[in-house]
Amino acid sequence: MRKTSTGIIAGAVGVVFLSVLVAAQSAPQKNAPRSPWKYYPEDARANEGPGGPAPVRDMSGTWAGESSGAGVKRLVPPDRMPAFTPLGKQLFDRNKAEGTGVLIAQSNDPHVRYCDPFGFPRNMNDQIRSMTIATVSNRTFVMLRFMNIWREIWMDGRTLPTNFAGRGADVHDPTYNGYSVGRWTDDYTFVAETTGMAAETWATEGGLPHSVDARVTERFNRSSKNDLSLTMTMDDPKLYSKPLSLGQVNFRWIPSQTFFDFSCVPSSVQQYLKEVADPASSPGAAR
Amino acid sequence: MKPKVLMMAVLIAAFAAIDRPSFAHHGGTAFDITTPVVLKNAVITEFLWINPHPLIKADYKDDKGNVQQWTMELGGLVGAQLIGWTRTSLQPGDVVTLYVWKAKTGALVGRFNKVDFPDGTTMRDSQTGADDGGRSDSGQRN
């Protein structure tokens, strides 16, 4: 028993030591110059705790995501192998996502290779850096730092379009971000539904496909002043035999509300692939 | 549970709780993260401050006097910015010692580990800058 107690104490000391080490690494340098135009992730890290109750029916503001350096965690990743239909499996097998067993030279991820737009819903579950939400009288705008994306979620009571094919004048063209409507289901939960997304985009970094008729439900929940979570599901009967989870991402309020752009630049990614990534992952690649 | 086992479990849990960005993105598995190649007196020829990864280009003269032209990537540009890198941190003509995780293909390309400057200072990569290839939050010269 005594040895066990010693072990527990030693372990606890280890945790404290590591916490101090991490805090020291993350802490801003004293007297370091600061600009109101820069984003300092330590500000978001220092903004500990809930910060007070969530305001009623309000998500407006700028939020740090898991890839912002603010230490925000993802709790639920998207499904990796959902229940495919035969067509869904066929389309999934075409997509060569970078990762286990697939190096960048072998990937056909249109974003990794060419900076093609993620499109929705991938832009809400991959490269989650930071996000600004703004609401006007009849719409909510979601603006994403990565790739400088804005999405428009209508709140005027309209219904989603359903016709994305055919020759008639009433056909709606698919778009990268699709068509979205949203509503508050309670004082702290905003639910958006989206369809009509361009089918050539991937739903996740792992290469899950979606059809133009896929319907994605986003559930934003603001549990406190500082905490916002987003849970996503997708229903796409052409490609999946049952609805699948696109995971949950979390956001933290950024005290300075600083938000700036970040884009994948096609010419730069071509240079990167040619000069480093492809030679590093394919022996035959020219350099 | 034996105390040493318990202590190890707690320490492992503590390490797991530390936010460590994935190195799997953009070809991470293509590099040999065991022992860095050390390029002493390398001459910087270009420092490209680009997305998705800044690139360092340098000439290195090997033991036989042959000049090798290396290209290496840093972690993500924003991650580099957050730990103090700027587009002028390296400049053409700088003579430095570069540590690089070389591509397994044998090409003269790699993932940047750290750079030692003649004044004794060091800058590290945001994701692979630690001496064991792990994350470093210290891109500032130190």
Residue A182's pLDDT is: 98
Domain segments of chain B as ranges:
24-124
**CA B116 to CA A19: how far, in whole Å?**
28
Residue A70's pLDDT is: 84
Q: What tens digit of pLDDT does each residue of A78-125 get?
A: 998 999 999 999 999 999 998 868 888 889 999 999 999 999 999 999
Number of domains in chain A: 1
Q: Is the dihedral of CA B78, B79, B83, B86 positive or negative?
A: negative
In chain B, which residues have their Cβ closer than 8 Å to the Cβ of A4?
Answer: 1-3, 6
User: Around Cβ A184, how many Cβ atoms within 10 Å?
Assistant: 16
In chain A, which residues have their Cβ closer than 8 Å to the Cβ of B26?
Answer: 98, 104, 112, 277
In chain A, which residues have their Cβ closer than 8 Å to the Cβ of B55?
Answer: 271-272, 275-276
Indicate yes or no: CB of B107 within 8 angstroms of CB of A279: yes
**Nearest by CB to A10, which of B7, B108, B110?**
B7
Enclosing domain of residue A182: 61-280
The better pLDDT of the pair A32, A205 is held by A205
Percent of all residues in chain B with a pLDDT value above 70, rounded to a whole number:
75
* For B103, nearest residue in chain A (alpha carbons): A280
Q: Over 90: is that where the pLDDT of A73 sits?
A: no
Asked if the interface predicted TM-score (ipTM) of this complex is over 0.95, the answer is no
Q: Which residues contact A285 (CB under 8 A, 6 or more apart)?
A: A105, A278, A279, B105, B107
- Residue A17 domain-assigned? no
In contact, A182 and A153? CB cutoff 8 Å: yes
Residue A193's pLDDT is: 98
* For B32, nearest residue in chain A (alpha carbons): A280
- Residue A32 domain-assigned? no
- Residue A42 domain-assigned? no
- Residue A255 domain-assigned? yes
| B16 CB within 8 Å of a chain A CB | no
Average pLDDT over every residue of A20-38: 58
Residue B102, both tokens: 């070389």
Average pLDDT over every residue of A47-54: 93
CA distance B142 to chain A (A): 12
Give CA angle at A102 (A119, A98), nearest 5°.
25
Average pLDDT over every residue of A148-167: 94
Beta bridge partners of B46: B57
- Least confident piece of the model among A147-156, A193-202, B49-58, B128-137: B128-137
- Residue A245 domain-assigned? yes
**Nearest by CB to A276, which of B6, B73, B106?**
B73
Burial of A172 (0-12, 13-18, 19+ CB in 10 A): middle
In contact, A153 and A59? CB cutoff 8 Å: no
- Residue A249 domain-assigned? yes
Average pLDDT over every residue of B83-88: 89
Residue A285's pLDDT is: 60
Residue A27's pLDDT is: 44
Percent of all residues in chain A with a pLDDT value above 90, rounded to a whole number:
67
Residue A155's pLDDT is: 98
Helix (H, G, I), strand (E, B) or coil at A106: helix
Q: Over 60: is that where the pLDDT of A5 sits?
A: no
Average pLDDT over every residue of A262-285: 86
Q: What tens digit of pLDDT does each residue of B28-64 get?
A: 678 888 899 999 999 999 999 998 889 999 999 999 9
B24-124 is a CATH 2.40.50 domain? yes
Q: What is the pTM of this model?
A: 0.80
The better pLDDT of the pair A41, B14 is held by A41
Residue to mutate among B1, B7, B72, with most A CBs inside 10 A, is: B7
